[in-house]
Amino acid sequence: QQIYDVAAIRRQFPVLSREVKGKRLIYLDNAATSQKPQVVLDALTRYYTDINANIHRGIHTLAEEATAAFELTRDAIQRFLNASSREEIIFTKGTTESINLVAYTWGRQNIKAGDEIIISTMEHHSNIVPWLMLCEEKGAVLKVIPINDDGELLMDEYKKLITKRTKLVSVVHVSNALGTINPVKEIIKIAHEAGAIVLVDGAQSTVHLDIDVTDLDCDFFAFSGHKLYGPTGIGALYGKRDLLLSMHPFQGGGEMIKEVSFQSFSYNDLPYKFEAGTPNVADAVALKTAFDYTEALGKENIRQHENELLSYATEQLDAIEGIRIIGRAKEKISVLSFVVENVHPQDLGILLDNRGIAVRTGHHCAQPLMDRFGIPGTTRASFALYNTKEEIDELAIGLQKAIKLLS
């Protein structure tokens, strides 16, 4: 049994030792982006110091080493998601670009006037706007799965939304604003029975849950590296091979072609067909280091730690008068959203920042979800593998003082 030594873990994240407004930083904005361990920072420096070359085309040693390192991360992502082949892993900037890739390629090829796309009430704007744009262009219809007051999808309503015209269901695996874990396997099964395909937004789930795209049987899966202790600007799209083969490329340029003349061009093989231009090699290489880092700590250990933090924080905040937690799903990860009566989240956020506590305030890129709850926004504390109960105590004290001052 490995001991989860959170003090030792914290020392591996340099930013956690800095001060904000003269106070030790308490970073509780992990759902927006996570901090990076020293090994990830070292991997970035090592890549630029020792290798740095453009990939795939070169025959010199540096180009070969850069290509090998880049492609090793593709293999790591394949294992991380349990995809059946490395060809099904396409590097992107992150979740947003992955979803847009599908909307621009598969969407424009397959969605016609009158077709229907289903999303849910708790989607991030990046899983709403690309579909709105597509629906507008094609005259298709966007339908939305409603939720209950605890922030859980109403599955019976979902079943009723499905018709013969449903072509795509695109849902978030874990809500960034509520923490809800959605029953995506069931959602996928229902969609497939109706002949629709499914995209899963894994931006928040990849860092907390074990992902198995083969078991889920999803058609597309999108995620961002920066949410799981990796660098910004790198992520991936998983797509089933047959679907990817049937799709036109996303962008044109180098790398995605086999032959080019002034009359025509032919596509490269998967996955390169979807990777036009020089990719983000350095960040891709360091992403593998982030996977290795969390694997070494043990995902189950991390999960247990974060679940304890969530229970503890929920208890602490429930005990503070005036705080109302938004999102009480039975299945949730370590995200805690709340509102305080007569207090604007932004004012709360500023007072907490004065105490060195970083939380997120606002609509969390989920305005329609805020509308559903009849609120302009929430304050959100989200916990990662390096957070502690002492930090949650500080949050609770900070909140009590702020509420006294503001109400």
Catalytic residues: 365
Is 179 one of the binding residues for ligand PMP (CB under 6 A)?
no
Is 126 one of the binding residues for ligand PMP (CB under 6 A)?
yes
Is 380 one of the binding residues for ligand PMP (CB under 6 A)?
no
For ligand PMP, the closer of residues 94 and 377 by Cβ is 94
**Segment contacting ligand PMP by CB under 6 A, of 88-96, 152-160, 260-268, 298-306:** 88-96
| CB-based contact 343:403 (threshold 8 Å) | yes
CA atoms of 306 and 50, how far apart (whole Å): 36
Cα 313-317-175 angle, rounded to 5 deg: 65
CA atoms of 399 and 81, how far apart (whole Å): 38
**Segment contacting ligand PMP by CB under 6 A, of 5-13, 92-100, 335-343, 367-375:** 92-100
CA atoms of 56 and 71, how far apart (whole Å): 10
Q: Measuring CA to CA, how many Å separate 393 from each of 299, 316, 355, 357?
A: 25, 8, 13, 11
The pair of structure tokens assigned to 111 is 């969605």
In the list 73, 78, 176, 280, the residue contacting ligand PMP (rule: CB under 6 A) is 176
Least Å distance, CB 228 to ligand PMP, is 11
| CB-based contact 399:378 (threshold 8 Å) | no
Strands 166-172 and 197-201: parallel
- Residue for token pair 């579909």: 131
In the list 13, 16, 88, 124, the residue contacting ligand PMP (rule: CB under 6 A) is 124
For ligand PMP, the closer of residues 126 and 337 by Cβ is 126
In the list 37, 94, 231, 279, the residue contacting ligand PMP (rule: CB under 6 A) is 94
The residue among 317, 366, 315 whose CA lies nearest residue 338 is 317
In the list 35, 95, 166, 382, the residue contacting ligand PMP (rule: CB under 6 A) is 95
In the list 147, 172, 188, 247, the residue contacting ligand PMP (rule: CB under 6 A) is 172
Is 96 one of the binding residues for ligand PMP (CB under 6 A)?
yes
Least Å distance, CB 61 to ligand PMP, is 34
Beta-carbon count within 10 A of 404 CB:
9
**Segment contacting ligand PMP by CB under 6 A, of 124-132, 183-191, 244-252, 374-382:** 124-132
For ligand PMP, the closer of residues 105 and 268 by Cβ is 105
CA atoms of 377 and 347, how far apart (whole Å): 12
CA atoms of 48 and 247, how far apart (whole Å): 34
Burial class (CB in 10 A: 0-12, 13-18, 19+), 44: middle
In the list 224, 289, 294, 337, the residue contacting ligand PMP (rule: CB under 6 A) is 224
- Residue for token pair 């990662």: 384
Is 204 one of the binding residues for ligand PMP (CB under 6 A)?
yes
x/- binding map, residues 328-367, to ligand PMP, per CB under 6 A?
-------------------------------------x--
Residue numbers at the binding site for ligand PMP (CB under 6 A)? 94-96, 124, 126-127, 172, 176, 201, 203-204, 224, 365
